[in-house]
Amino acid sequence: MSNNRTSRRSFISRCAAIVPAVWAAPALMAMAADNATTSTAAAGATAGTGPFKLPPLGYAYDALEPHVDAKTMTIHHDKHHAGYVAKLNKAVEGHSDLTKKSVDELLKDLAAIPESIRTDVRNNGGGHSNHSMFWQIMKPGGPKAPSGDLADAINSSFESMEKFQQQFEDAGAKRFGSGWVWLVKGDDDKLKIVSTANQDSPISDGMKIVMGNDVWEHAYYLKYQNKRGDYLKAWWNVLNWDEVAARFAK
């Protein structure tokens, strides 16, 4: 008799444990489905729809390790750059003449942009153009130094590669707040280093971009925290000098 009572109690206990799990299963499945849908929708809506597209990174997120970490690359490309693209597309909605132009064409003539959207195009168009260039001039395992005409031009303009790198790093470190440091060609076709705030592009000032480094905190803070100078030094290890030389030659 005692054994029967024990068996009944065990059976009831097992049932009590199973029933909540059975009831919970559909809810858990629904939550998982909701999360999956939300993630998919967010991913699909990240860059928005419109004439301007988020370009592929061109290499794995971890390809630039240990100098630029994978998490930074993921957030930088998939969130920040995608956000600029989405906002640029939103800004030019209803302006069919603008949607037919490239982002660089927009930036070259900001005065022609309607005043109501000019700031949005300047900021988000700059963010799109700047980052599109940025991904292309980085590469895992690329050449460690320039050669040929680019090397000659750097030596002519800055006396040596070492002095060029130091001046470039100094300009990036001294950029107050967020912005970019650039190597550009001016109207005289000579190389010079300039720095711009926020997502402003040298293209808007009639300069030709040879290369640029992003010194917004989102480009380095996860790995380097407040040590922007360390990031600027490490960045040379991932610079794609072949692409920089091609841009210089254009």
- Number of helices (H), then strands (E), in the chain: 12, 3
Q: How many CB atoms lie within 10 A of CB 59?
A: 14
pTM: 0.81
Q: Is 148-249 a domain of CATH 3.30.460.10?
A: no
Give the residue extent of every domain in the chain: 70-136, 148-249
Q: Could you list the pLDDT tens digit for every one of the 250 residues in the chain?
A: 444 544 555 544 554 444 444 344 444 333 333 333 223 223 333 566 899 999 999 999 999 999 999 999 999 999 999 999 999 999 999 999 999 999 999 999 999 999 999 999 999 999 999 999 999 999 999 888 999 999 999 999 999 999 999 999 999 999 999 999 999 998 888 899 999 999 999 999 999 999 999 999 999 999 999 999 999 999 999 999 999 999 999 9
Separation of alpha carbons 96 and 75, rounded Å: 31
Separation of alpha carbons 195 and 178, rounded Å: 10
Q: Which CATH superfamily is domain 70-136 in?
A: Fe,Mn superoxide dismutase (SOD) domain (1.10.287.990)
Residues paired with residue 182 on neighbouring β-strands, in sequence order: 194, 212
Task: For residue 47, give both structure tokens.
Answer: 């860059």
Residue 239, classified by CB atoms within 10 Å of its CB into exposed (0-12), middle (13-18) or buried (19+), is: buried
